[in-house]
């Protein structure tokens, strides 16, 4: 621990498990105040809460759908009342769903786009007013390597993350003059999330193509996120950082 985020007020959507959990833990280890949202898995949320408390962090935890505008406003409002504001928003909530487009049902398409694209819009909108008033803040959108390179990936997942890339670019331009930075972290296959859902031969193909010859870990990506949201990173906005092992 270096205390790089000492006192920083951080909100991570989809923080109860997988990469979201590792982000919360990494931020807490660096001294941040941590809040996270989750949708359904109460046991995972409780586990994350216990792990954060073991690090000396007393987290705020909110259950709801990131695609619900009232939920986004309520979460940011509660944190503003409790903490006096929000310094960091990480739009991490996602859906892992692997199915060919020809077999994809319309509700599955809607869930993916609502979670991975509408959710970041709603939470960013809710957080930005306070950040703009403070003339300081950071939004980090969690994407995926398939939005940066042409690779085989579920079409609705790739489409949602490509939209998130566009949102990142446009929003960085829009709010930079107010001192707010917006970046995108697009990891490759990890030991959590989609990396656990793909067929084993797909994972082996990834390893064979990656310069480092392996998939990544959520902990590695979380350490990078610490830098991206910290005050050490003062001159980067609109950037897309892609830790993928060298595809």
Q: Which two tokens stand for residue 23?
A: 């982000």
> What is the side-by-side order of every strand in the sheet holding 137-142?
60-63, 33-38, 9-12, 88-91, 137-142, 180-185, 240-241
CB 228 within 8 A of CB 241: yes
Tell me which of 36, 38, 157, 206 is the catalytic residue. 157
Cα angle 215-219-220, degrees, rounded to a multiple of 5: 60
Residue 206 a catalytic site member: no
Q: How far apart are CA 221 and CA 187, in angstroms?
A: 7
Residue 153: phi and psi, rounded to 5, are -155, 155
Tell me the catalytic residues.
157
């Amino acid at each position: 621990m270096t205390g790089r985020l000492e006192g920083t007020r951080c909100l991570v959507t989809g923080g109860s498990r997988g990469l979201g959990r590792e982000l919360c833990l990494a931020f807490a280890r660096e001294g941040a105040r941590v809040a996270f949202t989750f949708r359904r898995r109460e046991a995972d949320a409780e586990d994350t809460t216990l792990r954060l408390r073991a690090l000396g962090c007393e987290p705020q935890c909110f259950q709801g759908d990131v695609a619900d505008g009232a939920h986004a406003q309520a979460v940011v409002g509660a944190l503003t009342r409790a903490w006096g504001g929000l310094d960091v928003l990480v739009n991490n909530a996602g859906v892992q769903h692997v199915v060919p487009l020809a077999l994809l049902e319309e509700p599955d398409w809607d869930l993916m786009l609502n979670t991975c694209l509408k959710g970041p819009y709603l939470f960013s909108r809710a957080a930005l007013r306070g950040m703009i008033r403070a003339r300081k803040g950071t939004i980090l959108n969690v994407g995926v390597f398939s939005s940066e390179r042409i690779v085989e990936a579920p079409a609705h997942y790739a489409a949602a993350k490509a939209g998130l890339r566009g949102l990142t670019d446009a929003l960085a331009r829009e709010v930079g003059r107010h001192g707010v930075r917006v970046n995108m972290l697009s990891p490759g296959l990890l030991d959590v999330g989609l990396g656990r859902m793909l067929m084993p031969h797909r994972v082996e193909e990834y390893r064979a193509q990656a310069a480092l010859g392996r998939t990544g870990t959520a902990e590695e990506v979380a350490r990078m996120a610490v830098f991206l949201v910290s005050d050490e990173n003062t001159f980067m906005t609109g950037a897309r950082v892609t830790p993928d092992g060298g595809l």
